[in-house]
Structure 1
């Protein structure tokens, strides 16, 4: 009997290690010890990897091996509590660009499928935590709304040859808390990941199973799932709180856009692992309600509603948008749409833009023509002045006149003679008087 109880306790510990902590409300994983915990997580959503029982934070190091590239030796990218840049290793360089240390824990802000691999936290040579993570592609996430009668995927059986029959299924996390309280009707969601049950072995995330078994089948490339259903929170029900590793955030922002432009509002702290809901001008929004509208407004499936999208904004979309994570206000966005008056048809905007662009093109063309004419006129005027300067000295030759530079000596000599001296003039006057007396 004691042996049976011990086996059940060990089995429970293994299941807890394999499952994400606290129903994935804060995407914080804890796996103490040197034995790796195999788990699946969603790409494009932040995750915390816990490094417990550290006595010397400055001696903590994190190591990584990329399983999608064949694995190999784990290499350090955090040493002495600091991120290390390794430009010669592309895998580590990409990882460092999205990694952040919160004390000794590792936060990956936006992991991708190619970041799947082994993560190990050490203090000196002692292994404090070890993870093998399969980041499943959020682009292939399948959404099912219970209110629309949509159901999750069923189990599949795959013939793996010598490995036997493989069962592919979705391993679901716990239902998250209702996204709004005060006994208001809201929605809740849960996340499921693709797993493979191997005969006489533990279940593996599909990505790790493909690498382990060396098989590529459509069933093993099955994507993760997201299920949403209506709910009404009870007064005593409290939502899962976000990770206390970082302080609360309240983002206030004003977005100014033009009509028919896309708008993207990202809720701080929201992820697929936490309850999140949106309000527009004080009215609560739901997955089902937005689906029933015209389709220009939607919630991003990859982040579990953490991003609000408007495909083509209009003046009617202007207003106040607020988002709540675990029923706590974290984002407040004021959207302003400028350009059209309320009710103007889109065709009028396109026509006015066409006329405006045509006027601009015409103005630019006229300016170019005017500049070309001025340049041509300036060149012609300069050439005309140069010709006149060369023709003007020869203008008198046709009437028999000599040019100034070829004047005769007789014309030049009188101008060069000096007037007679005063003494000479006095000497000449007596002779003149004598001649008069003789006469």
Structure 2
């Protein structure tokens, strides 16, 4: 089932995996802030690539073999895939070719997605304000905003989001992501965290010819009467839309407290959805339908079983009733045949007399 599903998704969605791809020009040194718990692919086009990386929390240990870190994997083309990166994996990643030459280096700050500050423009919610740190100077802490993602819906009102990362500016020329700047200095404040901002959008549709994958029905958790649904290939870095019985589930509805039967997972940017009642849930990735879910509660299942039992009993009763009607219709006919048989059937005495006459 899952194999067929992923084959369908591979044909349906023009992306490779749910990870976010990062590229850096050859022989260059690139710096980037990203979010923890969201897969990322660091590109390195080198034959026989080897990755060396060091985590800032422990500068004394270099790791030469990514297989020694359970959530990293070197891909066939030499790129490094990091699944659900941890904040503690903030550090320096360098790719070397088989000749021992450095091909590219990434300085990556995996900022803690669990501390994500989310706001919605339509609700008048404000992003975090700039602050000043005192670490021997007057360092400015601010949010570096990425560009807005595409609208998650077309032809009708939708939403779009953008991500912001904590940066420190010691001089205007060289701002740095917060935890790369701090290194192994233990410092944290409520200002030093990433952000996500959402706003309404409305864009026209373009023709699409994409199929979708249908997941099997299943029962909600017996303990919590809820279930987590995951949008295949979804990511906080991509536009995602959920619908329940064709009604959009929005960040505005969740942040305003209007939507209480579902929860969009903040740490995955809405790639995961918690549901508390049965419905038809559909997931759209970059405006394309990629999955459909039909979770059922125990009450739904019992109601379904009761309906089936009632139908079975009704069918059985109908068969019995038809049998009785048939018997009632046949009874007069059988009675008439019995009378005729008695009238025209010769008695034993008359048969004996006829036999004597013949002799």
Match of 1:377 in 2: none
2:63 maps to which of 53, 71, 75: 75
Larger RCO (CA within 8 A; separation ≥ 6): 2
Aligned length: 280
Q: Distance in 2 between matches of 1:327 and 1:102?
A: 31
Match of 1:434 in 2: none
2:129 maps to which of 154, 158, 168: 154
- Unaligned 5+ segments in structure 1 are 1-24, 79-83, 87-91, 239-247, 343-439
Q: Against the structure 1 CA distance between its residues 66 and 217, is the aligned structure 2 distance closer, same or farther, given a 3 Å change threshold?
A: closer
**Is the 2:44–2:103 Cα contact (8 Å) retained in structure 1?**
yes
**Is the 2:71–2:84 Cα contact (8 Å) retained in structure 1?**
no
Q: Distance in 2 between matches of 1:167 and 1:104?
A: 38
Q: Distance in 2 between matches of 1:253 and 1:330?
A: 14
Q: Distance in 2 between matches of 1:180 and 1:112?
A: 31
Match of 2:265 in 1: 300
Highest CA radius of gyration, 1 or 2? Answer: 1
- Unaligned 5+ segments in structure 2 are 1-17, 304-359
Q: Distance in 2 between matches of 1:230 and 1:201?
A: 34
Instruction: Give the 3-state SS of the residue equivalent to 2:293 in structure 1.
Output: strand
Q: Against the structure 1 CA distance between its residues 174 and 72, is the aligned structure 2 distance closer, same or farther, given a 3 Å change threshold?
A: same
Match of 2:296 in 1: 336
Residue pairs, 1:171-250, within 5 angstroms: 171-181=144-154, 183-199=155-171, 202-211=174-183, 214=185, 216-218=187-189, 222-235=192-205, 250=213
Match of 1:51 in 2: 44
Q: Distance in 2 between matches of 1:110 and 1:249?
A: 26
Q: Distance in 2 between matches of 1:251 and 1:167?
A: 49
Deviation at 1:280, TM superposition (A): 1.1
Match of 2:106 in 1: 131
Q: Distance in 1 between matches of 2:207 and 2:32?
A: 28
The structure carrying a bigger helix percent of its residues is 1
Match of 2:236 in 1: 272
Corresponding position: 1:66 with 2:55: yes
Q: Distance in 1 between matches of 2:285 and 2:112?
A: 23
Q: Against the structure 1 CA distance between its residues 200 and 128, is the aligned structure 2 distance closer, same or farther, given a 3 Å change threshold?
A: same
TM-score, normalised via structure 1 length: 0.59
Match of 1:106 in 2: 80
Match of 2:116 in 1: 141
Match of 2:337 in 1: none
Deviation at 1:100, TM superposition (A): 5.7
TM-score, normalised via structure 2 length: 0.71
**Is the 2:20–2:237 Cα contact (8 Å) retained in structure 1?**
yes
1:118 maps to which of 92, 98, 121: 92
